[in-house]
Amino acid sequence: MEKYLEYTKVFKALGDPKRAMIVDMLSCGELCACMILEKFEMSQSTLSHHMKILCECGLVKGREEGKWTYYSLDADAISKTKQFFCNITSDKENCICKENINGCRGCGENE
């Protein structure tokens, strides 16, 4: 159950087009906040807020260097997320849907 919460946080972060674009931008390497800001019509505080969400879910890491902050993707978080997505979308043994659930006549027990 906590596993779901952990990853739904990541999906929630990606569930905003601007944040998804930011991830896309970062996919080729580190960028400082000011560079990301240039590419969006968005106030500086709004960008900072989006970056915080991306960092808090683990997908992005921030590295401070002097007055600048450089952001980059966290490869480990990304591969774990990919795996989680594959997990919840592919067939497996002992899945809930294979249990015999009583009281639901729509599930094939008495037809």
Partner DNA sequence: AGATCATATTGACACTTTTCGATTTGGCGC
Partner DNA sequence: GCGCCAAATCGAAAAGTGTCAATATGATCT
16 counts as binding DNA under rule CB under 7 A: yes
Task: State in angstroms the smallest separation of the CB of 91 from DNA.
Answer: 22
DSSP code string of 4-63: HHHHHHHHHHHTSHHHHHHHHHHTTS-EEHHHHHHTSSS-HHHHHHHHHHHHHTTSEEEE
Task: State in angstroms the smallest separation of the CB of 77 from a copy of itself.
Answer: 10
Chain residues in the site for a copy of itself (CB under 8 A): 1, 4-5, 7-9, 11-17, 20-21, 23-35, 38-39, 67-68, 70, 73, 78, 81-82, 85-92, 95-98, 101, 103-104, 106-107
Give the C-alpha separation, 63 to 70, whole Å: 5
Residue 29 contact, options a copy of itself, DNA, none, Cβ 5-8 Å cut-off depending on partner type: a copy of itself
61 DSSP β-pair partners = 72
